[in-house]
Amino acid sequence: MAIDQDRLWRRIEALSGITDPERPWTRRSFTPRFLEGREWLAAEFREAGLETEFDAAGNLIGRLAGADPALKPILIGSHSDTVPSGGRYDGILGVLAALEVAQSFSERGDRLRHTLEVVDFLAEEPSEFGLSCIGSRALAGALSEQHLALTRPDGMTLREGIAFIGGRPEELAAVKRPADGVAAYVEVHIEQGRVLENEQIPIGIVTDIVGIRRERIVVTGRADHAGATPMPLRADALVGAARLVEAAYKRALATARDNQPLVATFGRIEVSPNAANAVPGEAVLTLEVRSGNEAAVKAFGDALVRDLRPTLEELRLTIAVEPISHVAPTACAPEIRSAIANAATSLGLATRDLPSGAGHDGVQIAHIGPVGMIFVPCLDGRSHAPEESITPEQAGDGARVLAETVRLLDVSLG
């Protein structure tokens, strides 16, 4: 099925251009800039002929009615929020490729059996509330009262944040889909790695999405004067934090040759008093662990702390750990992977199976229906960075494969 690659690329350029001017490419969720992008997207959805709504959880949904209302919908899409300085293609490619597919079906007069839903999920990226995949969690019925009570640094709760962007948190129960409420969910995304580019393969078929666990680790010592406190008498929390960072790196590196390697990152560290002339009395670290090996993801943090505790005690430090979030690895559905492979073959595009090392909304949607993902290459594997880059042809390939995948699934699924 033909898609309008030029129109798709114009939309990608337009949405990516809605950014914080001092920090491109940035559209953080729950901000006025995010709302600006959402208003533009909603107008494009309506112009494409989609029945458009903002649901109670703050998801933007455009519907193309199918011929058989008794059939469950096929969902396609992604997210339009970004990490700081890193969202020129991550997320928006999936939303706009989905929009192009739906519009192309409509313009050709090809009516699907299933209703097609184009979704821009709210806040797929980790938000200032400390939670990711907020909109897709709501569809899966996994957005809890505890989640809604989370606060960001300025004191706003997630409940208030959802209301701020136009959602209706008091009506979240109406957003939840039943356990088998979705016929299929398919998303186009940049690979965020170098496999496809290195092997010169245009389409990746995602086999599974890694499990992700985040834990808050607090190392406590004693704040003292940096000039007046002798080195042997210090209880420097940042020294303990440094030992944790190094040990986590070495432990994760040792899994590099495993069938399911593990990665571990301390991406956030807060130190107090955080003054040049003060010995740090406390260090709060966020540990993130990812792997397709569920047992390894669960065990990593506990083993790290257990092995280092004697060393930290020698440094007169205490350590405490509390979980932040845990998402199990998610397998992509064989029937969707097969449809993607057949779609790409029919278009003359080579494919390769590969896992996703990043988290995606599909992890949550897998609770309510089968999911699949289509990867396209990105330059040097760069993602979540200003250098993130793809070509119009790569975007077009992803959209074409998505369109043909939807057509095949529409025929094969009940």
Determine how many CB atoms are found less than 10 A away from the CB of residue 292: 23
Q: Is 214 marked within a binding site?
A: yes
Q: Is 79 marked within a binding site?
A: yes
Residue 130 clears pLDDT 90, i.e. is over it: no
Question: Region 118-145: what's the mean pLDDT?
Answer: 95
Indicate the average pLDDT of the chain.
96
For residues 160 and 149, what is the distance between their CA atoms, to the nearest angstrom? 9
Q: Is 189 marked within a binding site?
A: yes
For residues 15 and 233, what is the distance between their CA atoms, to the nearest angstrom? 56
State residue 87's pLDDT score.
86
Query: What is the distance, to the nearest Å, from the Cα of residue 242 to the centroid of all Cα atoms in its chain?
Result: 28
Q: Look at residues 278, 251, 280 and name the one whose alpha carbon lies nearest to residue 264.
A: 251
Secondary element (H or E) of residue 339:
helix 334-346
Residue 1 clears pLDDT 90, i.e. is over it: no
Q: Which two tokens stand for residue 221?
A: 């010592």
Q: Which two tokens stand for residue 192?
A: 């965020």
Q: Is 114 marked within a binding site?
A: no
Through-space distance between the first and last CA atoms of the chain, rounded to whole angstroms: 22
State residue 155's pLDDT score.
96
CATH number assigned to the domain comprising residue 157: 3.40.630.10
Q: Assess whether 136 and 262 both reside in one domain.
A: no
Question: Strand, helix or coil at 106?
Answer: helix
Q: Look at residues 226, 233, 238 and name the one whose alpha carbon lies nearest to residue 278.
A: 226
Question: Region 22-28: what's the mean pLDDT?
Answer: 96
Helices (H), 168-262: 195-199, 237-253
Q: Assess whether 361 and 397 both reside in one domain.
A: yes
State residue 18's pLDDT score.
98
Q: Assess whether 144 and 156 both reside in one domain.
A: yes
Question: Strand, helix or coil at 318?
Answer: strand
Question: Region 23-38: what's the mean pLDDT?
Answer: 97
Q: Assess whether 322 and 351 both reside in one domain.
A: no
75-123, pLDDT tens digit by residue? 999 999 999 999 899 999 999 999 999 999 999 999 999 999 999 999 9
Q: Assess whether 345 and 402 both reside in one domain.
A: yes
Residue 381 clears pLDDT 90, i.e. is over it: yes
Query: How many folded domains does the chain comprise?
Result: 2
State residue 39's pLDDT score.
98
Q: Assess whether 24 and 150 both reside in one domain.
A: yes
For residues 217 and 124, what is the distance between their CA atoms, to the nearest angstrom? 24
* Domain housing 323: 211-327
Question: Region 236-255: what's the mean pLDDT?
Answer: 98
Question: Region 319-326: what's the mean pLDDT?
Answer: 92
Question: Who's near 311: CB < 8 A, 6+ residues apart?
Answer: 243
State residue 260's pLDDT score.
86
Residue 156 clears pLDDT 90, i.e. is over it: yes
Q: Assess whether 174 and 28 both reside in one domain.
A: yes
Q: Assess whether 400 and 338 both reside in one domain.
A: yes
Q: Assess whether 134 and 246 both reside in one domain.
A: no
Q: Is the peptide bond before 25 cis (omega within 30 degrees of 0)?
A: yes
Q: Assess whether 194 and 277 both reside in one domain.
A: no
Q: Which two tokens stand for residue 408?
A: 């095949």
Q: Which two tokens stand for residue 259?
A: 């069938």
Question: Strand, helix or coil at 118?
Answer: strand
Pairing of strands 371-376, 203-209: antiparallel
Q: Assess whether 216 and 101 both reside in one domain.
A: no
39-84, pLDDT tens digit by residue? 999 999 999 999 999 999 999 999 999 999 999 999 999 999 999 9
Q: Is 277 marked within a binding site?
A: yes
Q: Is 342 marked within a binding site?
A: no
